[in-house]
Amino acid sequence: MMLAGTVTAIHATADLLGDAERRLPAVDPGATAFGARGLGLLGEVGQEAYRHWQAAMNARVREARAHAARVRDLADLVDHAMGGFAEAQHSAERAQRDLATGDSGVA
């Protein structure tokens, strides 16, 4: 895969995680769906089940956020390499031009 393709793939993964962070909370079916609004014993158990779900969902959202940041760091690493590549390419092109015009750049 070329550098540009690598960067595109990394950004797509970062976007996927960013979307997950935003959209996962909407997956929550709500306290009522877990039976957390019931009376007595069944309501208590429903509340426990819902708290367990909420804690897990909060963890999923935090995981997505943190990992999106890590993936963006990867993109930065590739950008760093691309910067070096561009600099090297400019130097090579300049050297070729200088050779073609007979200007060695040495006084």
The verdict on 80 binding another protein (CB under 8 A) reads yes
| DSSP count for the chain of H helices, then E strands | 3, 0
Residues of this chain, 14-73, that bind another protein according to CB under 8 A: 16-17, 20, 23-24, 27-29, 33-35, 38-46, 48-49, 52-53, 55-57, 59-60, 62-64, 66-67, 70-71, 73
Candidate residues 25, 81, 96, 99; the one interacting with another protein per rule CB under 8 A: 81
Residue closer to another protein by CB (options 28, 93) is 28
Residues 6+ apart with CB under 8 A from 46: 31, 34, 35, 36, 37, 38
Assign 3-class secondary structure to 38-64. CCHHHHHHHHHHHHHHHHHHHHHHHHH
Long-range residue pairs from 11-16, CB within 8 A, at least 24 positions apart, any chain: 11/75, 13/71, 14/68, 14/71, 14/72, 14/75
What minimum distance in Å lies between the beta carbon of 67 and another protein? 6
Inter-residue contact 78 to 7 (CB < 8 Å): yes
The verdict on 11 binding another protein (CB under 8 A) reads no
Q: Which residues make up the interface to another protein (CB under 8 A)?
A: 1-3, 5-6, 9-10, 12-13, 16-17, 20, 23-24, 27-29, 33-35, 38-46, 48-49, 52-53, 55-57, 59-60, 62-64, 66-67, 70-71, 73-74, 77-78, 80-81, 84-85, 88
